[in-house]
């Protein structure tokens, strides 16, 4: 066995240290080994922070102990829970040196080779650095322990780490007090046995992807429907008010009853679904915000901290968050709906954003998500979105599907400056000029589409099929509706356009669809916020239709 093999086999997650000091040259040699690790796209994104202060170590130990209690609750096995609680991590205070290994996500604000498929490649590079440091310390007769049971939000706060710095964890460095008989401590305690050999499976065939049929049949007008509409209009006109005096509320009540196919409609289990994804075009500076904001905002949604959370809580609306294609791997123990097609689209400036198969997958996944919500008893669904760069995607799709010039379809998005707006205009115009593909819908969507936009379109089609009220938010959601409308024009009878956004192209798109929005509050946030704010108005339409007296019941003479 070579010396390297000995080191690899004996490497341990050190939990106990002697009081021996760690010479500076040992640390510097280990950090240099970390620096020699692979760096995707030569990003040089790994960052190191040394900690020798006992005060800082104590604070980190308290943070660990607090979060460790939560970790212990994750197992229902009482014996395992007892064993877990018996484990202590004295190493944080024992180890002479603490080390934070982190990566800088701000390197992703510029185009970086090697991160197009996944921004996580930057994190993987830093993990390679951690491995090299571990090996170097072991070769020098020292050890390192990795502490990952931390609330990383609090961890960053107490250490005042910048927002763009993402720690892998806290590492304890010193002279090992024991070699654990060359066994991991958890293995010694019979927590779990490490397998003797690597688990490896050879893949030698390709499996076809089952793509659901996204074509939906139109609803046919029948004599029964005509009779129903006549009865419904009579009910609305017989309320104790002048005919038409409740304006848009009367229109909404008529639409609501017609969609739900009852003279006494009631909104049940309303749900707003926010679809999130990243866009390759964002790498070309079309937004004032870095692409990583998509990931940050999805986390904010899950932590109940965004505007859409506030408005949904206010109006008792269920909120569902969908990862349609965010360039990040989220934890699996969240309420996030995983519908990830890929970690962001490609940049359509030079090549297709996605494949035609991915377009069909998006339509199918959007349909499946909404069908699940419909089966829960919901008959009213709102659509929202989050994705840095998605106004650019929506602008190009609007131009292609309506025939309007790209200049008429471009706005400031997240609030870019006039100078950046000109740059955005030039980039999107060039992208359209570069396109030499087919004019059919699927070809256009595959070249210029966004995962969340197409999933919303598929979801809207499924909502129509399930006889649900469809609440449409702002510009990007209306573009998704435009796609659904091109597939099935009948969908318009179920759609309620909640507001006209401050994005200038939205008004033009609403006029193209020949629809009237309910509100005009200069909103341009997205997230489905317009749907949530409009919801009380829908409830007012429902209330007057179901609860307001008629001329006959109140004994009041009609005109």
Across the strands, what pairs with 273?
A: 320, 383
d(CA 51, CA 55): 10
| Residue 370 near residue 273, CB atoms below 8 Å | yes
| Residue 250 near residue 244, CB atoms below 8 Å | yes
The DSSP code sequence of 259-309 is HHTSSS----S-EEEEEEE--GGGGGS-SSS-THHHHHHHHHHHTT-SHHH
Q: Catalytic residue, from 250, 465, 527, 542: name it.
A: 527
d(CA 144, CA 327): 31
Close Cβ partners of 194 (under 8 Å, ≥ 6 residues apart): 184, 187
527 is catalytic: yes
d(CA 261, CA 441): 32
| Residue 360 near residue 214, CB atoms below 8 Å | yes
> Three-class SS of residue 106?
helix
d(CA 169, CA 100): 6
Pairing of the two strands 318-325 and 337-338: parallel
Across the strands, what pairs with 165?
A: 104
Q: Which two tokens stand for residue 353?
A: 């954003």
| Residue 410 near residue 503, CB atoms below 8 Å | no
How distant, in Å, are the alpha carbons of 77, 380, 498 from that of 532?
A: 42, 12, 9
The DSSP code sequence of 192-229 is -PPPSS-------------PPP---PPPPP-HHHHHHH
d(CA 477, CA 180): 58
**φ, ψ for residue 504, nearest 5 deg:** -60, -30
- Give the HSE-up count for residue 502: Cα atoms under 13 Å, Cβ half-sphere: 10
Across the strands, what pairs with 146?
A: 171
The single residue listed with the structure tokens 């639409």 is 255
Close Cβ partners of 176 (under 8 Å, ≥ 6 residues apart): 12, 14, 16, 17, 18, 142, 143
The single residue listed with the structure tokens 């020292």 is 142
Residues labelled as active-site residues: 527
């Amino acid at each position: 066995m070579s010396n390297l093999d000995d080191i690899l086999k004996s490497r341990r997650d050190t939990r106990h240290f002697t009081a021996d000091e760690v010479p500076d040259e040992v640390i510097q040699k280990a950090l240099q080994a970390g620096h020699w690790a692979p760096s995707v796209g030569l990003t040089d994104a790994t960052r190191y922070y040394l900690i020798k202060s006992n005060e800082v170590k104590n604070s980190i130990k308290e943070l660990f102990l607090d979060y460790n209690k939560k970790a212990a609750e994750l197992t229902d096995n009482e014996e395992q829970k007892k064993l877990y609680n018996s484990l202590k991590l004295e190493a944080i205070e024992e180890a002479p040196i603490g080390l934070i290994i982190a990566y800088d996500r701000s390197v992703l604000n510029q185009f970086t080779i090697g991160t197009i498929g996944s921004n996580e490649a930057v994190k993987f590079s830093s993990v390679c650095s951690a491995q090299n440091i571990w090996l170097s310390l072991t070769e020098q007769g020292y050890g390192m322990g990795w502490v990952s049971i931390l609330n990383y939000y609090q961890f960053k706060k107490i250490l005042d780490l910048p927002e763009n710095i993402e720690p892998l964890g806290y590492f304890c460095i010193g002279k090992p007090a024991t070699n654990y008989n060359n066994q991991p401590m958890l293995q010694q305690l019979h927590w779990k046995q490490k397998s003797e050999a690597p688990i490896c499976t050879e893949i030698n065939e390709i499996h076809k992807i089952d793509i659901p049929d996204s074509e939906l049949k139109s609803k046919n007008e029948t004599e029964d429907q005509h009779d129903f509409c006549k009865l419904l209009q009579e009910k609305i006109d017989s309320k104790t008010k002048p005919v038409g005096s409740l304006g848009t509320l009367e229109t909404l009540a008529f639409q609501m009853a017609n969609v739900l196919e009852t003279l006494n409609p009631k909104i049940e289990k309303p749900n707003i679904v926010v679809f999130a994804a990243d866009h390759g075009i964002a790498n070309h500076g079309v937004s004032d915000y870095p692409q990583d904001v998509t990931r940050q905002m999805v986390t904010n949604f899950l932590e109940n901290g965004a505007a859409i959370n506030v408005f949904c809580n206010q109006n008792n609306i269920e909120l569902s968050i969908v990862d349609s294609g965010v360039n990040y791997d989220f934890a699996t123990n969240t309420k996030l709906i995983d519908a990830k097609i890929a970690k962001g689209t490609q940049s359509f400036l030079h090549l297709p954003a996605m494949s035609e198969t991915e377009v069909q997958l998006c339509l199918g996944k959007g349909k499946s998500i909404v069908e699940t919500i419909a089966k829960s008893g919901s008959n009213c669904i709102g659509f929202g979105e989050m994705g840095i760069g998605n106004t650019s995607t929506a602008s190009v799709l609007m131009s292609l599907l309506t025939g309007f010039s790209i200049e008429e379809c471009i706005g400031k998005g997240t609030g870019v400056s006039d100078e950046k707006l000109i740059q955005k205009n030039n980039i999107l115009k060039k992208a359209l000029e570069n396109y030499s593909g087919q004019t059919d819908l699927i070809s256009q969507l595959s070249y210029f589409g966004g995962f969340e936009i197409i999933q919303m379109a598929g979801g809207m089609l499924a909502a129509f099929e399930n006889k649900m009220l469809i609440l449409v938010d702002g510009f990007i959601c209306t573009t998704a509706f435009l796609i659904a409308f091109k597939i099935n024009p009948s969908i318009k009878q179920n759609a309620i356009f909640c507001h006209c956004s401050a994005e200038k192209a939205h008004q033009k798109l609403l006029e193209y669809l020949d629809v009237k929005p309910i509100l005009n509050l200069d909103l341009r946030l997205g997230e489905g916020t317009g749907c949530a704010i409009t919801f009380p108005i829908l409830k007012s339409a429902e209330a007057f239709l179901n609860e307001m007296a008629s001329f006959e019941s109140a004994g009041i003479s009609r005109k």
